[in-house]
Structure 1
Amino acid sequence: MKIGLLGGTFDPPHLGHLIMAEHVLEVMHLDEVWFVPSHVPPHKQKSSLMAEDRLRMVERAIEGNPQFSLSTVELEREGKSYTIDTIKQLQSQYPGNNFCFIIGGDMVQHLDRWHRIDELKKLVQFVGVGREGYQLASSRDVKLVDIPRIDISSSMIRKRLAQGKSIRYLVTHEVYEYIKEHSLYVSDS
């Protein structure tokens, strides 16, 4: 099977993540896309939420698409989530699968800074996702895929929630309800 891996903190998962996954699924002729929530991404500070909440929100976000799955490989490993460790573990667990790793267009130019990148490039195909009409910096190591322009980010959603603003239609209804039900991202002030 051809599997796309979409890693991230998913703090929270939003429609941009789902649109990205769906477009790459089609363009790359993948069988599935696995969402891989990180425990602690090496390039960010820790997530604002516990892993359990982020995991539950990803489950809800993808539940309507049979070609989307959740992988807890990085959450189970704990510590910093290096892509090389994830790829090696998944290739060992699922030797019959062919994996590609989906990254946002903004990450393409920073790929050379990733942990053990030369070894990683030999193990997995990178798929860089960019917006239509926006030229990605090309790299011979990255297959480029255009998606519709979606200016939604998890940080923007967290900020809107902290300000008491609506996030309806930025996340799935199920994620919206989970955030409301658990009073997530509410400002302490």
Structure 2
Amino acid sequence: MKLTAPLGIFGGTFDPVHNGHIQPIIDAAKITQIDKVAMMPCYIPSHKDKATVSSEHRLNMIKLVCQQQPLFYPEPRDINRGKPTYSVDSLQSLRADYPNTPLCFFIGTDSLITLTSWYQWQKILTLCHFVVCNRSQGGANPTQLPTNIKEVLSQTQTQNPKDLHQKLAGHIYLANTNAVDISSTELRNRLKNQVKYPQKVNDFMPELVLAYIRQHKLYQLEADIC
């Protein structure tokens, strides 16, 4: 079976999407020579509180990012599914559509630490590779990871990103990426209460996304949240 070029996958709530999401993925995609990444917003995330704004708004913000960054394209299948999202379901759907394509699931070190608590995590490793990015300054040191994660890495980790191109699934690659130390929660707090949090948000999200948030009065106390 001849494999096609790998497809990157980056899922999340994206409530809102920001540079802390975008920049580490750009870095990791360059390191791994992955030319296309699907940005896949959750409909109802299975591991977090319900999103603050509607799926439509979150998908629209993703589309704005994709307009500016040719690496990304919007992947709405989780939203279109309209039910609670598990990574294994999304990856099985993608695998059915891309049977000869290595799937590379981008996650942060925070997610790697909890990997063995994911629903059907062993099956996930038969469907995709993991590319692990730093999501905050001083990301997790591999030597300081929990013992169970070290055991998983001992069986799956590769030091060579080319391996992600030569097999459909099963590897974990730790990418040395530049972290942007911001979270969606912090940005929502700044947008809701600019008196209490006077720090600028402009440096932490694309201009088009911030303009969209302001246009639709999202994350503000007076907003009519749908």
SS at match of 2:56: helix
For residues 43-94 of structure 1, the C-alpha deviation after alignment (integer angstroms, 9 at most, x for no partner) is: 1011000000000011112212222111001001121111111111011112
Segments of structure 2 that go 5 or more residues without pairing to the other structure are 157-171
For residues 15-64 of structure 1, the C-alpha deviation after alignment (integer angstroms, 9 at most, x for no partner) is: 11110220111111112111000011111011000000000011112212
Q: Which amino acid aligns with 1:144?
A: L
Q: Which amino acid aligns with 2:216?
A: H
TM-score normalised by structure 1 residue count: 0.94
* 8 A Cα contact 1:132 1:146, kept in partner: no
Q: Mapping of 1:21-170 within 5 angstroms?
A: 21-130=25-134, 133-134=138-139, 135-136=141-142, 137=145, 138=150, 139-140=152-153, 141=156, 142-164=172-194, 165=198, 166-170=200-204
SS at match of 2:103: strand
Aligned-residue CA RMSD (Å)? 1.7
Larger Rg: 2
* 8 A Cα contact 2:25 2:133, kept in partner: no
SS at match of 2:220: coil
Structure with a larger share of its residues in helix: 2
Q: 1:162 to 1:66 in 2, by over 3 A?
A: same
Q: Percent identity of the aligned residues?
A: 29
Q: Distance in 2 between matches of 1:149 and 1:110?
A: 19
* 8 A Cα contact 2:137 2:180, kept in partner: no
SS at match of 2:89: helix
Does residue 184 of the first structure (1) align with residue 214 of the second (2)?
no
Structure with a larger share of its residues in strand: 1
Q: Which structure 1 residue ranges, 4+ long, deviate > 6 Å from structure 2?
A: none
Deviation at residue 95 of structure 1 after TM alignment = 2.1
Match of 1:173 in 2: 207
